[in-house]
Amino acid sequence: MIDLHTHSTASDGRLDPTSLVELAHKTGLTLLALTDHDTTAGLDEAAQACQRHAISFIPGIEWEINNPNGEFHLLGLGLKNWSGGFALAVDKIQKLRHDRNQKIFARMLSAGLKGDYSEVEELAQGGQIGRPHFARFLVARGKVSSVQDAFNQFLGRGKLFWEPKVGLDFDEAIELIHSAGGQAVIAHPLSLALPWASLEEQLLLFKSRGLDGLEAWHPSASVGACRRLEEMAQRLNLIVTAGSDFHGGNRPDRRLGFTAGKRPIDCKFADFLLNRPLAAC
């Protein structure tokens, strides 16, 4: 088994990069990509851990893309050099994330919640802060019973504590990924919230602007939808990938190494990264 979409404490996952790799080893994965949101902070640690456990490591990132409708995330897979302009873009997005987080916390204080921002920072365990950490803060304060309730009641789009994210423009993100030696893949494409016919038209346009692939298999979609996405990608001559979007205990519905329909992720989805079939899978 493999996994091409995972998160650590460097963004909003619950396991640090080393612990994530150790779980991958116990699960029997032979290849792992770390794709934290808008950061490369965990890549070096994960690479070292993978080397110790003889797991093929794929450095990656998941960029937030500016989009008027739906949620647009772009995976960069197989990064080879994430310094220079790539690092500057990461710093820019991190600053925007910090500003957004301050606004979210200010909304909470205005609504009468008591607490200090340092409590949210502690929940992030040294990684970047995101809405899941605010959700856990609300759970700890007894305002909601679960992280999902926090999103449903307060942190989801249009709710009381909602603050829109600012990301990269699509063309900038494509250029950054390609300049770093990676492949650009749209994550969980159904989150774009487009009708099927419009989705295919949009993907064709994105391909003309440098898109390389589509994450056709994701646990948020049905098996039937994933098959349809895979067929669409093949018609458009786009790379097909699969991932778990693993975050750890805060997302128990997502299991490392498994995707839609609780299916183990086949090694074939990594062939485009290795230019060969993955052995011992």
Q: What is the pLDDT of residues 63-83, one digit of tens each?
A: 999 998 789 999 999 999 999
241 falls within a domain: yes
30 falls within a domain: yes
Count other Cβ atoms within 10 Å, centred on residue 104: 20
Q: What is the mean pLDDT of residues 191-206?
A: 95
pTM for this one? Answer: 0.89
Q: What is the mean pLDDT of residues 161-189?
A: 95
173, 264: one domain: yes
Q: Residue 121's domain spans which residues?
A: 99-155
65 falls within a domain: yes
Of the three residues 128, 155, 182, the one that is the final residue of a domain is: 155
8-19: pLDDT as tens digits: 999 989 899 999
181, 225: one domain: yes
181, 268: one domain: yes
Confidence of residue 126 (pLDDT cuts 50, 70, 90): confident
Can you tell me the distance from the alpha carbon of 22 to that of 46, in angstroms, rounded to the nearest whole number? 10
208 falls within a domain: yes
132 falls within a domain: yes
202, 263: one domain: yes
What are the Cα distances from residue 202, in Å, to 28, 59, 159, 259, 278?
37, 27, 29, 24, 32
7, 142: one domain: no
Counting the structural domains of the chain, the total is: 2
Residue 57: CATH number of its domain:
3.20.20.140
75, 172: one domain: yes
12, 38: one domain: yes
63, 180: one domain: yes
Confidence of residue 130 (pLDDT cuts 50, 70, 90): confident
Nearest CA among 28, 102, 74, 54 for reference residue 177:
74
What are the Cα distances from residue 124, in Å, to 130, 136, 212, 252?
8, 10, 32, 18
Which position has the higher pLDDT, 97 or 207?
207
DSSP class of residue 190 equals G
187, 133: one domain: no
Q: Examine the pLDDT at 253 and tell me if it is beyond 80.
A: yes
Mean pLDDT (the chain, rounded): 94
61, 193: one domain: yes
6 falls within a domain: yes
Handedness of CA 191, 197, 200, 206 (dihedral sign): negative
Of the three residues 130, 155, 180, the one that is the final residue of a domain is: 155
104 falls within a domain: yes
Can you tell me the distance from the alpha carbon of 213 to that of 174, in angstroms, rounded to the nearest whole number? 12
Q: Examine the pLDDT at 277 and tell me if it is beyond 80.
A: no
Can you tell me the distance from the alpha carbon of 273 to that of 212, in angstroms, rounded to the nearest whole number? 12
CA 189 to mean position of chain CA atoms: 12
Nearest CA among 265, 263, 208, 268 for reference residue 238:
208
| 63 φ, ψ (degrees, to nearest 5) | -80, 140
137, 198: one domain: no
Q: Which residues pair with 258 in a beta bridge?
A: 264
User: Can you point out the beta strands (E) in the chain?
Assistant: 2-3, 31-34, 56-64, 73-77, 183-186, 213-217, 239-242
137-154: pLDDT as tens digits: 999 999 999 989 999 999
67, 172: one domain: yes
Residue 122: CATH number of its domain:
1.10.150.650
7-61: pLDDT as tens digits: 999 998 989 999 999 999 999 999 999 999 999 999 999 999 999 999 999 999 9
pLDDT of residue 124: 84
279 falls within a domain: no
Query: In 213-231, which positions are buried (b, 16+ CB within 10 angstroms) versus exposed (e)?
Result: bbbbbbbebeeebbebbbe
